[in-house]
Chain A
Amino acid sequence: MDLNFLDFEQPIAELEAKIEELRCVGDDSEVNINEEIQRLQAKSRALTESIFSNLSAWQVSQLARHPQRPYALDYIHRLFSEFEELHGDRAYADDPAIVGGVARLDGRPVMVIGQQKGRDTKEKLKRNFGMPRPEGYRKAKRLMEMAERFKLPVLTFIDTPGAYPGIGAEERGQSEAIARNLFVMSALKTPIVCTVIGEGGSGGALAIGVGDRMLMLQYSIYSVISPEGCASILWKSADKASDAAEALGITSGRLKELGLIDEIVEEPVGGAHRDPAAMAERLRDTLIRQVEQLERLPVDQLVAARYQRLMNYGQYNEKS
């Protein structure tokens, strides 16, 4: 089994392996097999498209957590120029699970904040698997307030399983740190565009996810609780994660229908990790367009509109 491919992608993996085999043969063979290779490649593309046109919520979750999926810094380096990372919450520590700093987007000065996962074991530990501690959220808040002072639009990139559930995190006020960010972001006097690039894990994600525009990459997820967590509480069994994923409606398509996000940024065939450059370019174009729109609004109108968006969240019945 090829680890680059998820379970449901195995038919594609087999086809790709065959193509690779033929290529090797092709080098020292008289027969012209280019035609055959091309035929198989077309077949592989068609197969990928057909598999990806009909993914379950659980399959999308696996893509959102794919070990090769581009992380915040991968996008930051591709999307921006002059990125200068700024560290620390000025009170306790620097949390490597959240990165932030100033940069330019197509020449325009911006503030960038993202949750960062690690690629190899060492970096995974350093980044705490992308699970921020209170100091991470407080760093983010510090940078947002700085952005407000210097009139920089804030661009956030969400990718976390959730805020870290640890002893120290509780001691230092994980709840307050998250709550304070929601409070501050709701009234920040500068445009905020939030993008879920992988996993949007509950309050830990929302703590950098309150803004004027909410975007999601096509195969990212955003949920009040992980499908596994939900399954173990409501179904009393973590095996029901795929049922929970379906019920929670965590995919970009479903959330767009529910009116909870504004735009889906389409991913390359097979997911962002198959072509990170193309993905980054598409995201860059989208962000430039969104920031341009928001910057045209006078700031008090911007903040009033954001408040109205927040107040509209929720569905209930009302009897007079």
Chain B
Amino acid sequence: MSWFEKLMPSRIRTEGKGKRNVPEGLWSKCSGCDAVLYRAELERNLDVCPKCGYHMRIGARRRLDVFLDEEPREEIGTGLEPSDPLRFKDSKKYRDRITQAQKATGEKDALVVMRGQVEGLPLVAAAFEFGYMGGSMGSVVGERFVRAVNASIDHNIPLVCFSASGGARMQEALLSLMQMAKTSAALARLSAAGIPYVSVLTDPTMGGVSASLAMLGDVNIGEPRALIGFAGPRVIEQTVRETLPEGFQRSEFLLEHGALDLIVDRREMRERVASLLGILTRRPAA
């Protein structure tokens, strides 16, 4: 598999498989407007459709790679690995799901944390890997997030988190629910220390992650058209038995209802987050 194919969301990857005479991964289809796009060009455009501006999902490592300055970078919490305290087994063993997710994503768990800089401004950045069991939050994600917060406090530098998650990880049962309390408590400390936290909510940010660390930013940023909410649209539809309004639970809807501060295009993310943090940390103007 070519290196950039690995970065592609799986549903895009399967797209090319039927067409035998086209080299795999050369073209991909926009999930927003169905335009067929040249993969390399899409890549250069940070996986934002050049035709309609649709923001496709990107992995955690790529996210941090395009967000942070090239140097310096230091990854935090690399030694942490998931365990299976409940020996959870549904139709599949949790252990097997872990192995599978690790193989598919190359990540130990669903959150990657790095200390680095954005446009010369030092910060700690965390990103969820949605490809790893739906970016679900278990013990490792919670602990890595706390270490990200602690690194921010220790170095007195801001924290940025890109969330993309279905919520708490069922296979760790109540332990994963408690990660909501754990991460929120750490953020309360960060806030008390007067250090800014920017939460960037990307597609999708739902359930326990949305109802804890993702909604607690000093500034909450949404990527365009990201699905963000507590309950999933299907659950709500089943509960209220009516069709949901157009654009329900999308970033633009949340902005309108006052849950987000602003929506930022991925291609401007670096610049605008750096500028916001520069102001919040009272750095002299560039």
Question: Residues of A at under 8 Å CB distance from B?
Answer: 163-167, 169-176, 178-180, 182-187, 202-203, 206-207, 209-210, 222-225, 230, 233-236, 243-244, 247-250, 255, 258, 260, 307, 310-311, 313-320
Contacts and interface: CB of A to CB of B under 8 A. Distances in A.
A319 B81 contact: yes
Nearest to A214: B178
A222 B174 contact: yes
Interface stretch (B10-18, B39-47, B87-95): B87-95
Contact of A224 (B168, B185, B258): B168
Given A182-B180, A182-B185, A258 B85 contact: yes
Contacts of B189: 187, 307
Interface residues of B, number: 64
Contact of B90 (A178, A203, A234, A255): A234
22 contacts: A163-B230, A164-B239, A167-B242, A170-B230, A173-B259, A175-B210, A175-B211, A175-B214, A175-B259, A183-B187, A206-B178, A209-B181, A210-B184, A225-B168, A234-B90, A243-B90, A244-B90, A313-B182, A314-B139, A316-B80, A316-B81, A318-B79
A175 B230 contact: yes
Contact of B174 (A165, A183, A236, A260): A260
Contacts of B85: 258, 315
Contact of A310 (B182, B244, B245): B182
Contacts of A317: 80-83
A169 B191 CA distance: 26
B175 A179 contact: no
Contacts of B187: 183
B152 interface: no
Contacts of B216: 179-180, 183
Given A182-B184, A314-B179, A258 B174 contact: yes
A316 B139 CA distance: 6
B105 interface: no
Interface in B176-217: 176-182, 184-189, 191-192, 207-208, 210-216
Interface in B201-244: 207-208, 210-216, 228-232, 235-236, 239-240, 242, 244
Interface of B: 79-83, 85-86, 88-91, 138-140, 142-143, 146, 168, 170, 172-182, 184-189, 191-192, 207-208, 210-216, 228-232, 235-236, 239-240, 242, 244-245, 248-249, 257-259
B41 to A, nearest CB: 36
Contacts of A233: 170
Contacts of A180: 215-216
Contacts, number: 200
B174 A171 contact: no
A103 to B, nearest CB: 25
Contacts of B179: 313-314
Contact of A236 (B91, B143, B191, B249): B91
B181 A210 contact: yes
A73 to B, nearest CB: 25
Contact of B236 (A167, A243, A258): A167
A179 B168 CA distance: 13
A206 B181 contact: yes
Given A318-B81, A319-B81, A173 B174 contact: no
B248 A170 contact: yes
A66 to B, nearest CB: 22
Nearest to A233: B170
Nearest to A230: B170
